[in-house]
Structure 1
Amino acid sequence: MELHIRLEGRKGLTEQLYQQLRAGIESGHLAAGTQLPPTRLLAEQLGVSRKTVAEAYSRLTYDNLLSGKVGRGTFIAPRLPVQHNANENVPLAAAESLERWHQRATVLGRRALDAPSRYDFVGGASSKAQFPYDHWRSCLQYALRRSQRHTDRQFSPQGLPELREAIAHHIAYARGVHCTGADVLVCNGAQQALDLIARVLVEPGSKVAMEDPGYPPARQLFLALGAQLQSVPVDGQGLCVEQIADGTRLIYVTPSHQFPLGMPMSEARRQALLARAAELGALVIEDDYDCEFRYQGPAAEALQRLDRHGLVAYVGTFSKTLLPELRLGYAVLPPAVMQAACVAKHLTDWHSPSLQQWALARFIGEGHLNRHIRRCHEVYSARRERILARLDGDLAPWFSAVPASAGFHLSALARPGLDVEQLINLARKVEVGLYSLAPFFSEAPVQPGLLLGFGAIELLDIDPALDRVADTLQSLS
């Protein structure tokens, strides 16, 4: 390590060195645990005597700023954080704005801070054991070679053309989405797609409608932008379209696999939603978050394919299909929205990481994505069937499953009299992670129950976990 030290003149060299090192330590530029150069090496670099450096080190050690470790060297000593007097802080003029953002925290964000249980039915998490790491590594190496040959430093905020074309072909095949690469905007996950769409359409006071229960990060995003949010109830056919208020300009739905309950939106309700959107001139966000995995019956067409008026924005993600760490998603946008969304994307982060885009385009083009989905489909299907068998069997006195044919979570509604929150707390004590449906409700009456994710729990762990849940339920009874 070469320190940035500047000594002037030939007098007071020890003091100069001492003061500069001390300033670097106290400012944090020299972090705790950093190893300093040996006295001989630093003396040679600075052109001073070794005694000068040794004396400076000695004084800093006496001040408890350095610590010597026999046989290893001299290190910056750990320091307690500086304690600021709260009475001296100047209140920020934007304090109220900051407080509003504090209130936007979601249950999903807080859940990420919890330590996972041994048996965890967390929703939205996929199985890393199924991911083809070797194929992905090969695609990343290809991306590095592409980057080495790429001379243009400018990249489109809309995304690399080869990835947009690959996405368009994939979702046309898998979900029946009608689009070309020109209609696709590559984003950092589905959440950024929601943010970009809402940012260009929603102003303070704008009416936005979404399902209740629904996806908390979407709800909090719309509220953060100042939307007048309407929580529209759902029934067995999906969103209750007739309750969407006049003046609504944005409608958020999960029609293929309602989040969190799981039932699909009926064909009649889809047509009614599109008719209501056309009547209002409202854009519909179709969040198709995990519907590549379908287990029974014919796959329902994407709502976007039924759209005849350019009013549906189709949003998808690879974070659930592949890996959460990937953080790549996409939006298929109507022409009226695309240009504004690209401007917003450019102002936000210029573009999504090009290396990962090249790698993902290669991954899709070589067929790895479809093969991965087929492998995961078999795995998730077996896990789903096992959970359903237990819900229809020994757990039936306490729960009933909500009919769902897609995704990698399902919901189970609690029978009357069961205290779901107490069950969750007791299950945590026997190393089983269960999750309540209650946080997903906003204004609609809460339906007590559980969201049971099966993407991250192994098949052989399901019965031992549910045995513990059954024992806990028996004790509650």
Structure 2
Amino acid sequence: MEPLFELAIRLPGTGSRELLREVHRQLRDAILDGRLQPGARLPATRALAERLGISRNTMLAAYDLLLSEGYLLARPGAGTYVADTLPQSRRGRTSKGTSRGTSARRDPRLVPLNISGADLPPTLQPPRARDDFRVGLPDTGAFPFDIWRRLSDRALRRIAREPADYAEPQGQAALREAIARHVSFTRAVGCTADDIVVTAGAQQAFGLLARILVVPGRTVVAVEQLFYPSLREAMTAAGAKVVAVPTDAEGLCVEQLPPEVRVICVTPSHQFPTGVAMSPQRRAALLAFARARNAVVIEDDYDSEFRFAGRPLDALQTLDRAESVCYVGTFSKSLFPALRLGFVVAPPWARAALVRARELADWHGPVLLQETLAAFIAEGHLARHIRKMRKIYGVRRTALLQALAQHGAGRLDVIPSDAGLHLSAWLRTNTRDATVVARAAAAGIALPPLSRFALDPQAPGAPNGLAFGYGLVDASQIDGAIRRLVRLL
């Protein structure tokens, strides 16, 4: 089959003696500019000559010139291709979007984002190591991909029978029904399918909420003293004034919330990254503050399915009686991050605006994935997978606690936590956590410093500790890894 070839070649006037030169030059320039990428197959000379309305001999001559110069390669029986390695003359030329000397300068056409100190998400740093304690990443080795594949095939067959059309921005009805039943059963969150807006993970949920809640330059958003960086970036990108509020062993210190705060972002079930659960008294106080100040609470319930001890506490959304809470959930931790599906349980007053914001962002999510996940939840596979993984993670958590107690006594103070996929500990040393993390990485141990999750990681008195995710590390590795880490301390 002839390759698709949409390159426009402008020919000189009839009778011009420059025809060969122009065809050759324009093909060569297209290769140098990257419009014809290395490895691209060119049309046969006869087909391209017919399309341009010129003789085949002229086209053969242009190809021969490019072949002799090293821009093209001829593969007998397969066709003519752009060379993978181009001649020396290409050096010094760059594509339009990557001109040298301009990468560090802001293009005046760009509107500056209101982001300072932007960082990669904690799950992306540091790179995978022999002993991987990165946070926020689940183990996909035990995931029932064979079941998922069967459900996906079934959903694809159903979609193929339906008329082609765009889907609802709010999310597939079957998935919203399944999510409503799931969060009602696992978290006692009372909602219906109409209350749910499906998103591309929690990250898009934060961005959409920022879009409908933040007035640029005016809205004050409170985050916990340590928090998920991408949440802050979503708010600052929308123009919010972000303030950090202290936390302690009971969670957010509600009495220290500034009175002008209008949006409060919290992780009450498993504070990120310390793991502390917000006490019932603080939950009641936070909801009372929101009701009195007409503020909105964004509740990020990111890995609450994995509880190993203690009594489960009601979600803020369950306790809310004033329609103050937007509850955010995700399947990245319970299933796998590549799924990129999350949701918001929105109060009635916010729902239409949230759906419209989703529609403007990307219209709707992938229908096939939504339908597959709906069936996965409805048929009980999600609940079974969570129960199985809770046992696996429970063994790793126990091994981590034992290793920290045995080897880290006097150097690491474990922060009590009953749920989630990571534990954290304060460092009892003058060495900064970022230094420890760098030395650990050199020794093959990957883990994040707690200071990374502060509003200003370099500020004097910034939190000093380490987070230990156990989603990726095998239980048999944990004791040896902690022993080596403590030797570094």
Equivalent residues in 2 for 1:314-353, closer than 5 Å: 314-353=327-366
Task: Quote how far apart the aligned CAs of 1:22 are.
Answer: 2.8
1:154-169 aligned within 5 A: 154-169=166-181
Compute the displacement of 1:61 (Å). 2.7
Q: Which residue of 1 aligns with 2:484?
A: 468
Q: Is the CA contact (8 Å cut-off) linking 2:325 and 2:347 kept in structure 1?
A: yes
Name the residue aligned to 2:442.
429
1:296 aligns with 2:309: yes
1:448 to 451, 459, 464: 464
Distance 1:86 1:329 in 2: 40
Q: Does 1:182 align with 2:194?
A: yes
Distance 2:314 2:480 in 1: 37
Query: What is the aligned partner in structure 2 of residue 198 from structure 1?
Result: 210
**Residue 459 of structure 1 pairs with residue 475 of structure 2:** yes
- The question of whether the paired residues in 1 share the 8 Å contact of 2:451 and 2:463 is answered with yes
Aligned to 1:54: 60
Tell me by how many angstroms 1:27 deviates.
4.2
1:357 maps to: 370
Q: Mapping of 1:124-163 within 5 angstroms?
A: 124-151=136-163, 153-163=165-175
Q: Decide whether aligned partners of structure 1 residues 160 and 396 sit closer, same or farther in structure 2, where only a CA change above 3 A counts.
A: same
Q: 1:90 to 1:384 in 2, by over 3 A?
A: closer
Where do residues 27-176 of structure 1 align in structure 2 (5 Å cutoff)? 27-37=33-43, 51-68=57-74, 74-77=80-83, 78=86, 79-80=90-91, 81-82=93-94, 84=99, 86=101, 92-94=107-109, 97-98=111-112, 100-101=114-115, 103=116, 105-108=118-121, 112=124, 114-151=126-163, 153-176=165-188
Question: 1:211 touches 1:253 (CA, 8 Å); kept in 2?
Answer: yes
Contact 1:158–1:184 at 8 Å: present in 2 too?
yes
Superposition deviation, residue 36 in structure 1? 3.1
1:253 has 2:266 as partner: yes
Could you give the per-residue CA deviations for residues 422-459 of structure 1, whole angstroms, max 9, x where no partner exists? 32222212211121101112269422110111111122
The answer (yes or no) to whether the contact 1:398–1:418 under 8 Å persists in 2 is no
Paired residue type of 2:185: Y
Sort the Cα spacing of 1:463 and 1:69 in 2 relative to 1 into closer, same or farther, 3 A. Answer: farther
Give CA-to-partner distance per residue, 1:223-279, whole Å, 9 cap, x none. 222212221100110000111111221111100001110010001111111111101
CA distance in 1, matches of 2:47, 2:481: 60
Q: TM-score, normalised by structure 1?
A: 0.90
Distance 1:363 1:343 in 2: 27
Question: 1:333 deviation in Å?
Answer: 0.4
CA distance in 2, matches of 1:401, 1:19: 68
**Equivalent of 1:226 in 222, 225, 239:** 239
- The amino acid across from 1:454 in the alignment is Y
Q: Distance in 1 between matches of 2:47 and 2:355?
A: 53
CA distance in 2, matches of 1:421, 1:211: 20
User: Matches of residues 7-22 of structure 1 in structure 2 within 5 Å?
Assistant: 14-15=20-21, 17-22=23-28
Residues 451 and 354 of structure 1, relative CA distance in 2, 3 Å threshold: same
Q: 1:184 to 1:357 in 2, by over 3 A?
A: same
Once the two structures are superposed, the pairs formed by residues 254-273 of structure 1 within 5 Å of their partners are 254-273=267-286
Q: Measured at CA, do residues 155 and 11 of structure 1 come closer, stay the same or move farther in structure 2, by a change above 3 Å? A: same
3-state DSSP class of the match of 2:148?
helix
| Letter aligned with residue 191 of structure 2 | C
Percent of aligned positions with the same letter in both sequences? 41
How far, CA to CA, are the matches of 1:351 and 1:99 in structure 2?
25
Conserved? CA contact 1:188–1:329, under 8 Å: yes
Q: Deviations over 1:196-235 (max 9, x none)?
A: 1121111121111111111211112212222122211001
2:164 and 2:79 mapped to 1: Cα distance? Answer: 46
Per-residue deviation, 1:323: 0.9
* Offset at residue 19 of structure 1 (A): 4.3
CA contact (8 A) 2:414 2:425 kept: yes
Unaligned runs of 5+ in 2: none
Are the counterparts in 2 of residues 438 and 448 from structure 1 also a CA contact under 8 Å?
A: yes
Cα separation, 1, equivalents of 2:477 and 2:214: 45
Describe the SS at the equivalent of 2:281. Answer: helix
The 2-side partners of 1:384 and 1:187 are apart by 30
Of 351, 375, 383, 2:396 maps to: 383
Alignment CA distance shift 1:27-1:129 (3 Å): same
Contact 2:114 2:236 in 1 (8 A): no
Count of residue correspondences: 469
Inter-partner Cα distance in structure 1 for 2:62 and 2:72: 10
Q: Unpaired segments of 5 or more residues in structure 1? A: none
* 1:311 aligned onto 2:324: yes
Letter in 1 for 2:371: W
Deviation at 1:57, TM superposition (A): 1.6
- Single out whichever of 152-161 and 49-58 deviates more from structure 2: 49-58
Q: C-alpha separation between the residues in 1 aligned to 2:193 and 2:330?
A: 16
Aligned-residue Cα RMSD (Å) equals: 2.7
> CA offsets, 1:118-163, max 9 Å, x none?
2110000111102111111112112211211222513211111110
Do 2:113 and 2:237's aligned partners in 1 also have CA atoms closer than 8 Å?
no
CA distance in 2, matches of 1:416, 1:49: 80
- Opposite residue 112 of structure 2, the aligned amino acid is L
In structure 2, distance between residues paired with 1:179 and 1:4: 52
Deviation at 1:192, TM superposition (A): 0.9
**What is the rounded CA distance, in whole Å, between the counterparts of 2:101 and 2:377 in structure 1?**
54
Which letter does structure 1 place at the counterpart of 2:436? L
Preserved contact between residue 107 and residue 439 of structure 1 (Cα < 8 Å)? no
Structure 1 residues 4, 331: CA separation in 2 closer, same or farther (over 3 Å shift)?
closer
Q: Deviations over 1:8-36 (max 9, x none)?
A: 97987645643453343244332112133
Secondary structure (helix, strand or coil) at the match of 1:400 reads: strand
- One-letter amino acid of the counterpart of residue 182, structure 2: H
TM-score, with length taken from structure 2: 0.88
Helix, strand or coil at the partner of 1:356: helix
Asked if 2 retains the 8 angstrom alpha-carbon contact of 1:122 and 1:453, the reply is yes
